[in-house]
Amino acid sequence: MIRAAGQCPRTYPSPSKSQRCLHERLHHQPPRVGGRKVKADRILRALLWITLGTGIAVAIAYRGRFDVAALEGWIRGAGVGAPLLFMAVYALGTVLFLPGSVLTLAGGALFGPVLGTFYNLTGATLGATLAFLLARYLGAAWVERKAGARLQRLNRGVEAEGWRFVAFVRLVPLFPFNLLNYAFGLTRIRLGTYVLASYLFMLPGSVAYTYLGYAGREAVTGGAGLVRKALLALALLALVAFLPRLIGRLRKRPMLPVQALKARLAAGEEVLVLDVRTAADYAGDSGHIPGARNLPLEGLPQHITELGEFLETPIAVVCSTDKRSIQAERLLAGQGFADVHVVEGGMTAWARAGLAVVHGAASGEGGRRGRGSPAGSAESD
């Protein structure tokens, strides 16, 4: 455009803040304030990490000097605010890996069996929720390193069973309580589901240990009915000890579809395939899964010690269908094997899916399946 001589150049008003933001969005640039928010978020995460790490380190270093008597005296000195102070201490102790059983016993001694149970359970749930949220917000790689294969089992359990799995691990102590709270934060379970299931299914253990703390205080102070209270405390502890076996029987068996097993083997996951058919069936016409280990169900109780190295390893139990596998899974779970699944449909389903089998007594018996193993790469023709 040509301007006439002496004509002043045209001026434009400077763009407003909203116009600048619109221009940045149209050109795929985030608003300038976004960078400051990201930086502030990183600083906050770093501060949380430092605070949490320091607190856990100090708590672990001094947990041997934890003085329950001093704690009880401090709580009693709080007067009407004692319950709130106790629940806050319990929640903080849960986050910092202090022994929850000691705090629960103290709650029973301080507040009695009824209110003590409520305060213990509420404090434990608050702490479990806080640990869950910290792990979810921080994306705690430290928890992943500590939990290891256990975190994979948690993820699979949550995906398969949801709140039922939370209920199961709260009733059956397969995982350390304090670490479990953080590990659940790295799964996809919803916060409300986690909190409600935790509160309800931590109740039996809380009742038993709270009453034990109450009975212990009564024994020290010479309260009436000591024998009755002691017997009731022992009965509650026996019930809590029996619960894992009862839940294990009532719980739906963890089934593993054949295609899921094949995918895990093909991906090189470490899985022990345990075939519990007779030796004749294992080597017979139907064949067996490549690399599977044969240990017949009839001899499993006598030879279960041979599987000691697989206590923390995923085990897939297979038979002709799945009836014998269910019995084997129940037996293994009762002996402390942490991750046992029944191959759904057994060898019948495996053959129906057209997956590869081996005939005869394979030389790969007795092994653990890892990366690059033949079982991991077996394909059907």
Residues with catalytic function: 319
Q: How far is CA 368 from the centre of its chain?
A: 24
Copy the structure tokens of residue 55.
Answer: 């607190």
Residues paired with 271 in a beta bridge: 369
Query: d(Cα 69, Cα 61) in Å, to the nearest integer?
Result: 19
263 CB burial (10 A radius; 0-12, 13-18, 19+)? exposed
Q: 204 near 196, Cβ under 8 Å?
A: no
Q: If you write DSSP's letter for every residue of 68-90 in order, what string do you get? A: HHHHHHHHHTTGGGHHHHHHHHH
Cβ neighbours, 10 Å, residue 10: 7
Name the residue with tokens 């290891």. Answer: 148
300: its two tokens? 């499993």
Q: Which residues pair with 317 in a beta bridge?
A: 274, 342
What gap in Å lies between CA 313 and CA 173, rounded to an integer?
A: 17
